[in-house]
Structure 1
């Protein structure tokens, strides 16, 4: 694994421990006895141990989490406790005696301690999570071999009680909202508004915003606020999050259980945040969908963003990307058609706009009609520029009918 493994421990949103480990596994747990120092790494060849909880904190076992580095920026978490689970970032529990592999950066919870594991070079100390993959660019087909197919059908999930009917109904309502955004992206120019509104309704955040990159600056295109939020209150998205989205081309999020108190100024006061990149057909970041919830929110408690909500926000971003690509194609087609209609018939202009490759050079047999307009200079002087263009267009239409 490139770089040292950095472990940060938070208690009540305060960072209480941070250290780096060059190699080997790291064990986390509570004190074995009153003599064992708290938050002091005991290092041995290939292995280290840190007591992160006091002896009387029975929500953490003496030997609780074993963290093993793996290749390609991953780790294995082994729950060595006999009875206490480890809470994972997606809200699931790693039962006693079980293990799992996670992508870095990763966040786990032991008792009331939140533990972030990351590569030291990741930096910033932000309690951020991210989706592993970069979303595909508009027009890119990723089916087959991409690992995006579900491993369980809906009927299989329901028959195995993996998903309750109520949960399935909620997921389907989410998907209906996503589909409305995708339909708007394919047929109207209101998809900015639909996307910003959806991130508030689907995730339950205070604000949703669609931003585009213009001359290196993030420019909001549409912002939607929840009904309990003052739309005129001062607000701006976190530049730190947007910078990471632009650099990594991935979706990032932060939940209330992972808020760091040593955050950057642009994240000050942010409890929950999620942002996903908007890509152009070339795979470049041209914008982002962003939503957050602040400390001053009037909600009883800030919503928790899991991997599922992050994936739904990414779907929204892909819908906006499709809409932008459609608008760009339509604008290019209109511009080409206007240019073609100056010299060709409307029918031929439409065909050339739809198939611009017809104008590309290639070897083929053609029929040519040579024609010279008598008195062209004299006539064009009399008609003027606009009249000449219209006249030439009429002449070309007549000649095209003779050839086609």
Structure 2
């Protein structure tokens, strides 16, 4: 029979173990009795005790990396088993254990301490049975050789440091931290630099940058003082640092004061990495083991320096995430709008909003795709889309989506723009203006193959918000306003015009913005006729202005069923057509419809000029 005494900050008790194996640790498992030790620096199953020869005992170190230390300076490495004489005293983590045979007196005689209430857990054959009366589940407490810094903003005070060597160490560490702050990067190479700085400034054997990714801890940077140091960390210590949100360190001073050997002990320092909302996003983890005899445990000063380094890592991650978020925004929004959204993300919430929607589509590009090589098509399309997208963003538009060789863009959401229609029309006209230059750059591929650009613009109420998913962001509009913009873009092919807008958009343009009323049109999915307009830029020629007046006057006659007057008004255009100046599609269409009206005898002739149902 053995009498065993155990002591740490939360446990102080003695008990007897009569036969079989005794497994000890935080949550021991094995065929035998269980001794549960409330010490985070102890492994789940750390050791096994069983009877040896005579009054000796066999001790097995079952832990993967924690050495068991004895009072006489001996040690038992992980994975080893040895026989020891009683009475004896060994240390695991922050817990002292005294063991003696049944006839050697009381183990408590070997401890200089005040008597405390027993809270040790011990069970023959059944784990988790308490020898003492049942007590409530207690919150985790670190052993007495462990401390937390009071807060996350402790200042380094040089006035309190008297030794020049200490002051020099602080200044060098601060200088290196400043250099890392100047770089303020992310990624494994940078985090390896952080880990190296952690080791060098605190005289550690290992330093790690741990990042919390999808609720799992990942080693994102690591540095060891030499190749013999194993890369490992205590998940229990990290977990409890996360709960406290404070820098943790083990100074081991209480062990040194009691004359206990520090051979093969390990002292850890862990500082949480926080984001701007004080959420844990990672931790700096360092440990001293090989150096521990000469250096002792982690000092408060060293812990403060580690805390400053953790703040540097946090700042880099926060800036990188903000930059990535801004870059993602700027794929769809102008840089000014991206900055506004970064300040106020609530602007992206779903709501009804008046918008101006634009659809653009390339003419002849599908046929061209059957001629060119896939790589050539991709390069050509990328260059065209780059030009079109740039003009949209110059005018503060939001690029909602790319679909094949088409683009959907909008204005007046998520941020309101009083001149949203004018912006959309200016962007469309600029897209057309630069389009020939882009095609010229690719003349070696295009040759004489004709490609064109059609754009439709409509203004109205739409539901705007994230129409994508959690996996893929897609901010855009939905509703009839968007559908009609698409129909207007499709109509440009029949009309033979580059840009067509609705009456709703025309109504919000400045009075001096050049437009031509084209007449009423019926569209699929739209029950009522829609007034449509051609849109030109301020450089519209005097000839275009003259033809606009002739066309709109003829259109008024046509809608009044004065078909003869309509044809007569367009006579100058007919004469020019005969002289080689071809009439545009709307003028030709209007003359044909007027002739149909003259020939009609039913009296039910419709004044709707355009039918886009096919």
Query: How does the TM-score come out when normalised to structure 1?
Result: 0.52
Residue 191 (structure 1) aligns with: 190
SS in 2 for 1:218: strand
Counterparts of 1:42 and 1:237, CA distance in 2: 32
Deviation, 1:248, is 1.1
Match in the other structure for 1:284: 279
Tell me if the contact between 1:237 and 1:290 (Cα under 8 Å) persists in the aligned partners.
yes
Q: Measure the CA separation in 1 of the matches of 2:366 and 2:303.
A: 65
Structure 2 distance, partners of 1:216, 1:372, is: 42
User: C-alpha offsets along residues 202-228 of structure 1, whole Å, 9 cap, x if unaligned?
Assistant: 1101111101112222110111011xx
Kept in 2, the 8 Å contact 1:270–1:292? The answer is no
- In 2, Cα distance between equivalents of 1:372 and 1:246: 49
Kindly provide the CA deviation profile for residues 360-398 of structure 1, in whole angstroms up to 9, marking residues without a partner as x: 76xxxxxx997988x968678778995785575366357
- Residue 389 of structure 2 is aligned with which of 389, 393, 396? 393
Instruction: Deviation per CA, 1:164-184: give whole Å up to 9, x if none.
Output: 444322321121122222222
Pairing partner for 2:322 from 323, 329, 342: 329
Partner of 2:179 in structure 1?
Answer: 180
Contact 1:369 1:403 in 2 (8 A): no
Residues 189 and 126 of structure 1: is their aligned pair in 2 closer, same or farther, counting only changes over 3 Å? same
- TM-fit CA distance, 1:335: 1.3
Query: Whose relative contact order is higher, 1 or 2, with alpha carbons under 8 Å and at least 6 apart?
Result: 1
Counterpart of 2:145 in structure 1 is: 127
1:274 maps to 2:269: yes
Query: Any gaps of 5 or more consecutive residues in structure 1?
Result: 19-34, 44-119, 137-147, 261-267, 341-348, 362-367
Distance 1:121 1:191, change over 3 A: same
Q: Give 1:237's aligned residue.
A: 233
C-alpha distance in 2, partners of 1:211/1:188?
12
User: Counterpart in 1 of 2:294?
Assistant: 301
Structure 2: stretches of 5+ with no match in the other structure: 1-8, 14-69, 72-89, 99-108, 118-137, 257-262, 348-353, 370-377, 396-421, 428-614
Distance in 1 (alpha carbons) for counterparts of 2:267 and 2:207: 12
For the structure 1 residues 369 and 124, does the alpha-carbon distance in structure 2 shift closer, same or farther, using more than 3 Å as the test?
closer
Which TM-score applies when normalising by structure 2? 0.36
Which residue number corresponds to residue 346 of structure 1?
A: none
Q: What residue in structure 2 maps to residue 94 of structure 1?
A: none
1:339 aligns with 2:336: no
Partner of 2:338: 353
1:382–1:282 Cα change, 3 Å: farther
Paired residue secondary structure (2:223): strand
Quote the residue 1:255 is aligned against: 251
Match in the other structure for 2:204? 205
Distance in 1, matches of 2:345 and 2:146, equals: 50
Which residue does 1:56 correspond to in 2? none
Q: Does structure 2 conserve the Cα–Cα contact (< 8 Å) formed by 1:256 and 1:302?
A: no
- Shift in Å, 1:244: 1.1
- Alpha carbons 2:275, 2:314 under 8 Å: kept: yes
- Structure 2 CA distance for partners of 1:402 and 1:209, relative to 1, 3 Å: same
Cα–Cα, structure 1 residues 286 and 269, in superposed 2: closer, same or farther, change >3 Å? farther
| Alpha-carbon distance change, 298 to 353 in structure 1, aligned in 2, over 3 angstroms | same
RMSD, aligned CA: 4.7
> What is the rounded CA distance, in whole Å, between the counterparts of 2:116 and 2:286 in structure 1?
41
In structure 2, relative to structure 1, the CA distance for the partners of 1:359 and 1:194 (3 Å cut) is: closer
Q: Write the distance in 2 (CA, Å) between the matches of 1:351 and 1:250.
A: 38
Task: Assess if the C-alpha contact under 8 Å between 1:211 and 1:218 holds in 2.
Answer: yes
Distance 1:292 1:390, change over 3 A: closer
